[in-house]
Amino acid sequence: MGKRKDKRKKKGGADQLAAEDRERRAELGQELGLVDKNARRLRQSWREKLTRSNLPVIKEDVRVAWHAFEHELDNRDYSISVLLDCQKETAGRKHKSDSLHAQQIDQLIELYRRKLLLGQEDEYRGRVKLSLGHEQDFYEAAAEAGERGQEHLRVSLFGGQEESERQLELLHSRTQSRLDTLIESNELARKANRETLRRRSLEYKLQLTKALQDYESETADKRKDYDKANAKDEKFRASIAQQAQRLRQLQLQIQRLRRDCDESRARAEVLLRDHRFECDYFQAAYTAVQSRLISEQKFDRCQLTRNTMAFDEAVRRLNDHYSKIERILTVIELCRKYQTVGDCQLIYPLSSSRPSTERNETYLDTENAADSFIDYLKRTELFSRNDNLFRSLHKLAGQILIVERQNDSFRVQARQLGNELQLWKKKLKLCIEFYSESTRNSLDLQSTTAKCAC
Tens of pLDDT, residues 397-412: 677 777 778 778 877 8
Q: Which domain holds residue 178?
A: 2-210
Domain assignment of residue 225, yes or no: no
Does residue 237 fall inside a structural domain?
no
pLDDT (0 to 100) of residue 124 = 62
Co-location of 154 and 271 in the same domain: no
> What pLDDT, on a 0 to 100 scale, did the predictor assign at position 112?
66
Same structural domain for residues 169 and 293?
A: no
Could you give the number of structural domains in the chain? Answer: 2
Answer yes or no: is 250 within a domain.
Answer: no
Size of the chain, expressed as the number of residues it contains? 454
Residues 272, 173 share a domain: no
Output the CA–CA distances (angstroms, integers) from residue 356 to 200, 361, 362, 397, 452, in the order listed: 159, 9, 10, 18, 79
Residue 374 domain flag: yes
Residue 50: the pLDDT is 56
Question: Cα–Cα distance between 321 and 134 in angstroms, integer?
Answer: 154
Extract the residue ranges of the chain whose pLDDT is less than 70: 1-13, 42-62, 112, 115-126, 128, 146, 149, 153, 160, 164, 186, 336-394, 396-397, 425, 427-428, 431-454
Residue 240: inside a domain, yes or no? Answer: no
> From CA 83, how far away is CA 135, in angstroms rounded?
25
Alpha-carbon span 260 to 452, nearest angstrom: 9
Residue that terminates a domain, selected from 210, 233, 249: 210
Give the contacts of 417 (CB within 8 A, at least 6 positions apart).
300, 304
Residues 35 and 140 grouped into a single domain = yes
Amino acid identity, position 431: C
The per-residue pLDDT for 343 is 45
297 with 382, same domain: the answer is yes
Domain match, 125 and 271 both: no
Write down the pLDDT at residue 356: 41
Q: Is residue 428 part of a domain?
A: yes
Q: Tell me if 377 is assigned to some domain.
A: yes
* 127 within domain boundaries: yes
**Does residue 185 sit in the same domain as residue 324?**
no
pLDDT computed for residue 432 by the predictor: 64
